Amino acid sequence: MPHFLNLIDQPAELLARLLDRAAALKADRTTGRTALAGRVVGLVFEKPSLRTRVSFEAATAQLGGTSLFFPGNEIGLGWREPLPDFARVMSRYIDCLVLRTFKHDTVLALAEHGEIPVVNGLSDRSHPCQAMADLLTVREHCGGVKGKTIVFVGDGNNVSMSLAVGCGKLGARFVLACPKGYAFDETFKKNYTEKIGGDFPEILHDPLAAVANADVIYTDVWTSMGQEAERETRLRKFAKFQVNEKLLAKAPPHCKVLHCLPAHRGEEITDGVMEGSASVVFDQAENRLHAQKAVLEWLLAVGR
Ligand code: CP
Ligand code: NVA
């Protein structure tokens, strides 16, 4: 049973093929419009979402399928009945499950016990659909992914871990500029080294120096969903890691700025950079739709 839980378990060739397909789906929006005919995609979300929810629902509709949305609490995910029972019942009704969860283990458990493809729509450790849209955006705005330098200024979180893996698989250089104590953890390092190998992403603590050769500067919120109790500490620790005009001036003139959104303007990024000519954040948000159409097509075509 194919799943899309993280990028580390997907072959580089598949990722490249999905990006090609996403570009084709974007170029002609009528492409694939019956690919999911008769298929039902269920979305179960424990956390809020704009982009992931709406782009998956729109993608499903544009491919001829139907989507159903369930807030995790309402459907009783993880507390009303055991996860394996939940997974087995859902598998009898729908054809694909998109999950947004607190714990990555919940995503793994539903993939293990269900009988339908599972897509990770964000967990505490991974946001693979975001990374696919990010790579599509880099490809469009930087003339390809291979050989490019992506500098993530911020937290070693779900978004940066997935993008680091995508870059490793597709031959881009990934640099994380973060405060001490907020880099990738040992579990990620071990997994990356075993499954990708080569050079591990560079970890730097001086953001101004880190962006000197950047083709892309990327940032995300300093406090992810579920970390709200750490907000005050994080605001202090990340204060020097804001993507602002001074930082951007240290990067090459062609450098683009990405952000997965939602943005906390005035915290991790300034209004000026968000609205400036280097910013491609809304193209990036749009690309969630096209990248996910490619993923849904692949998953449901394989399972046919
Ligand atoms: N980037 C992203 O996943 O946005 P949402 O949280 O709004 O889905
Ligand atoms: N790192 C953020 C990403 C939101 C799309 C979070 O997990 O809240």
Q: Which fold has domain 12-127+288-300?
A: Rossmann fold (3.40.50)
pLDDT at 302: 57
Whole-angstrom distance, CA of residue 72 vs CA of residue 85: 15
Q: Is the CB of 224 under 6 A from ligand 2?
A: yes
Expressed in angstroms and rounded, the spacing between residue 285 Cα and the centre of ligand 1 is 9
Look up residue 241 and give its DSSP letter.
G
User: Model-level pTM?
Assistant: 0.98
Say yes or no: CB of residue 67 within 6 Å of ligand 2.
no
Give residue-wise pLDDT tens across range 88-135.
999 999 999 999 999 999 999 999 999 999 999 999 999 999 999 999
Tell me the C-alpha to C-alpha distance, in Å, between residue 153 and each of 68, 160, 171. 36, 9, 20
Separation in Å, CA 129 to CA 4, 58, 77, 162: 8, 15, 22, 9
The one-digit pLDDT tens for each residue of the chain (304 residues) are 999 999 999 999 999 999 999 999 999 999 999 999 999 999 999 999 999 999 999 999 999 999 999 999 999 999 999 999 999 999 999 999 999 999 999 999 999 999 999 999 999 999 999 999 999 999 999 999 999 999 999 999 999 999 999 999 999 999 999 999 999 999 999 999 999 999 999 999 999 999 999 999 999 999 999 999 999 999 999 999 999 999 999 999 999 999 999 999 999 999 999 999 999 999 999 999 999 999 999 999 854 4
* Distance set, CA 127 to CA 4, 52, 107, 210, 245 (Å): 10, 10, 12, 24, 28
129-284 under CATH 3.50.30.30, yes or no: no
**CA 211/CA 153 separation, integer angstroms:** 9
Q: Would you name the residues annotated as active-site residues? A: 100, 127, 130, 220, 260, 288
Domain ranges of the chain: 12-127+288-300, 129-284
Question: What separation in angstroms does the CA of 183 have from each of 16, 96, 149, 186?
Answer: 27, 33, 18, 10
Give the Å distance between the CA of 11 and the centre of ligand 1.
25
**CA 115 to CA 135: how far, in whole Å?**
29
Please give the DSSP secondary-structure letter assigned to residue 223: S
Mutate to test the pocket of ligand 1, among 43, 47, 49, 157 (most ligand atoms within 8 A of CB): 49
Helix, strand or coil for residue 45? strand
Tens digits of residue pLDDT in 241-265? 999 999 999 999 999 999 999 999 9
Q: Which atom of ligand 1 is nearest to the CA of 127?
A: 3
Q: Which amino acid is at 258?
A: L
Equal fold, 12-127+288-300 vs 129-284: yes
260 lines ligand 2 (CB under 6 A): yes
Q: How far is the CA of 91 from the centre of ligand 2 (A)?
A: 28
- Provide the token pair at 262: 């939602």
Q: Is 122 in the pocket of ligand 1 (CB under 6 A)?
A: yes
Instruction: For CA atoms 299, 12, 155, 276, give the dihedral sign.
Output: negative
Pairing between β-strand 173-177 and β-strand 202-204 as defined by DSSP bridges: parallel
For ligand 2, atom 2, name the residue with the nearest CA: 224
Spatial contact of 230 and 204, defined as CB atoms under 8 Å apart: no
